[in-house]
Amino acid sequence: MKRVGFFRSIQMKFVLIYVLLILFAMQIISVYFVNSLEEKFTSNFQTSLEQRVELLEYNLGEEMLKERDLQSNTLEQDIRRVLEDFASASDVNEVRVINMENKIIGTSDSNNRGLVGQRLPDLSVKRALSAGQTEDEMLVDESTGQRVWVLTSPILSNSEVIGAIYLVGNIETVFTQLDDINEILFSAAVLALAITAILGVTLARTITRPITDMRRQAVALGKGNFSRKVKVYGQDEIGELAVTFNNLTKRLQEAQATTEGERRKLSSVLSYMTDGVIATDRRGRVILINEPASKMLSVSRETVISQPIVSLLNLEEDYSFDDLLNEQDSVILDYSTHDRPYVLRANFSVIQKETGFVNGLITVLHDITEQEKIEMERREFVTNVSHELRTPLTTMRSYLEALADGAWQDPDIAPNFLDVTQTETERMIRLVNDLLQLSKFDSQEYNLTKKDTDFIEFFNKIIDRFEMTKSRDITFRRKLPRYPIYVTIDQDKLTQVIDNIISNALKYSPDGGLVSFKVEEHGNTIQVSISDQGMGIPKKSLDRIFERFYRVDRARSRKMGGTGLGLAIAKELITAHGGHIWATSVEGKGTTIFFTLPADLSEEDDWE
């Protein structure tokens, strides 16, 4: 779980909101309070000086109208005394008295005594002398850089202007007091903000702690851990949210258990299915493929995920994904090669919602190679049987029609015709008997009567019989052990196998040829081989000589009276004995038929 930084946390946001609200409120209050206080202080300062100036005007008026003799103080001296008493307060910088001639007749500032007797070129003084107007304004002293309040007021006597007062008040003290108050307000604001931040953190924790727990629980749920529970800190809305979250966790756990059970069932079904299953999304890309499907298509799951289904099945040329969605019939996938037949049948089922929206496609693959092979063999078997029966029947019908037309009266022709007819009849009987025997093999209705047999003695007797009855100049050569080897076999069935193999060797061996017989021990089995020096079998036909009705040279085989079923019967019988049969051949040099049988080789010590 990625940790959220403090400055990005909701706790910080809560604290910041509280602090900003307090700061905003205090700012508004401070601005209003300071402005009101400044107006109040300024007004009080001005009112105080104006009241004192009224008294000063009266005193100055008395002094200016007072009659003086030689022994009395001069007007300037009396005015200086009055001004010194007035300007003793710290809130007055200087007071000047101007007569009607616009001359300064007194000043409270001892440093400006040189201005006495000079004219004051100030317009407010002129307006006060001429019109009796009282004026005030706020100025900045250029020498000190401090703010001053200048008041110009006329001196009246019986409503007549007899002079003017020019007062410069030290209003900077008012603003100094305001600065002190601002500092106090700022300190109080900082203290309030600090306390607010601490309270905000405490309050925010009470809100963010359950939210943090729920966040951790959500992360745990995302990882599949349903064991954790969110702690309920109270009965408020957040507490109710925590309870609801715990209930949701329980429901999710139940749903997850149900889904996991269904998933396991589906996974088990897909794993143990013999058929291949492929699922796609709505765009036709593979999202699921089970193990049988991977083996059928010789692909790995990792490489086919997200691959288009039409590409995976090699259907790009004939089908699009939309065609597969609308395909109602099975599609045959033929992956056969020259050496190996391989055919699959694909059935398609559309995954869609109740609204009809298509979510994807399910493809089920069936391996029908064996079915196709059996069907092909069945068709070939029917064709071969029909052909094998039609040939002797056609021959017999021709000869019987000739006999019926009067050939039976010819003593030279009739016996020959009857001999051919008898030969073809016997051939059909052998064919039917072989077919019946193979039918029993297919239906598992045959029973083997096995008994312990000395195979060397048994094999020698069969070879002796053929050697005594052979009608051609063919040499037999035996390479057999001189000690007994015991096998458990059905002697009649195995005699049929060996008779068939030796008969074929004699048929296809030329005059003066050699037929070799050999028995070898290999572990707990014996290997029997019968070789001839005939014309051999082509390599392409070598693996098919044990198929039913298969002949390398059909004309020659039929001429020699074969049914094409001898080796097929031999294969069934050897397999029934738990052995294996195969052939090797070199064209023009001959053929060797091998077969194996389980042997009880532990008997050797008892017989030696």
Q: What is the CATH number of the domain that holds 18?
A: 3.30.450.20
pLDDT at position 458: 92
Q: What are the residue ranges in the chain where pLDDT is below 50?
A: 1, 554-561, 603-608
- Asked if the structure places residue 191 within a domain, the reply is no
* Tokens, residue 309: 């289904």
- Residue 473, burial from CB neighbour count under 10 angstroms (0-12, 13-18, 19+): exposed
pLDDT at position 606: 43
SS3 477: strand
Q: Which of 194, 249, 208, 259 lies closest to 227, judged by CA?
A: 249
**Amino acid sitting at position 288:** L
* Tokens, residue 389: 């029966």
- Together in a domain, 453 and 592: yes
pLDDT of 28-56, one tens digit each? 888 888 888 888 888 888 888 888 888 88
Q: H or E segment at 526?
A: strand 525-531
pLDDT at position 607: 42
- Together in a domain, 452 and 593: yes
- Together in a domain, 451 and 392: no
* Tokens, residue 357: 């929206």
For 343, other C-beta atoms within 10 Å of its C-beta total: 17
Domain that holds residue 252: 230-266
Give, as one character, the DSSP assignment of residue 72: S
**Contact yes or no for 45/136 (Cβ under 8 A):** no
| Orientation of helix 10-65 relative to helix 75-86, angle to 10° | 160
Q: Which residue has the tokens 């919602």?
A: 353
- Asked if the structure places residue 199 within a domain, the reply is no
- Together in a domain, 260 and 293: no
- Together in a domain, 509 and 583: yes
- Together in a domain, 19 and 145: yes
- Asked if the structure places residue 208 within a domain, the reply is no
- Together in a domain, 152 and 16: yes
- Together in a domain, 508 and 541: yes
- Asked if the structure places residue 477 within a domain, the reply is yes
Number of domains in the chain: 5
- The last residue of a domain, from among 441, 475, 498: 441
- The last residue of a domain, from among 250, 266, 282: 266
SS3 145: coil
pLDDT at position 604: 46
pLDDT at position 370: 79
- Asked if the structure places residue 459 within a domain, the reply is yes
- Asked if the structure places residue 190 within a domain, the reply is no
